[in-house]
Amino acid sequence: MSEEREKNVKSRMEIYSIYDYLTTAPTGAVIVYRMEYVDTHGREKDVYIAVLDDGDVEMPWGVGVDAVDALRSADREYSYWYSQSPERKHNPFHEILVRSKCT
């Protein structure tokens, strides 16, 4: 991207929603961030990022065009990652989708 075009790109990120998940430590949460930006053609756009906060670190797991899409993306990624691992873990993104009746 050219330097002139980079100057025209603006963005802002904010917390869209926070969900406590039930089966882990009391400090755990799934956070969905909404990032608003203006692309290089001047169009305003949003992207949502689903993050797992285990009380120590925030790890992004999914991205989507809305919050549910980001949570579904995170659910798939988390399930795939831990299906390949010998340690099976509870999927907090799936829990949130089921509790929110979005599955």
pLDDT tens digits for 6-39? 555 567 777 777 776 655 445 678 889 999 888 7
- pTM confidence score: 0.77
What backbone torsions phi and psi does residue 19 show, to the nearest 5 degrees?
-125, 125
Rounded to 10 deg, the angle between the 92-99 and 67-83 helix axes is 140
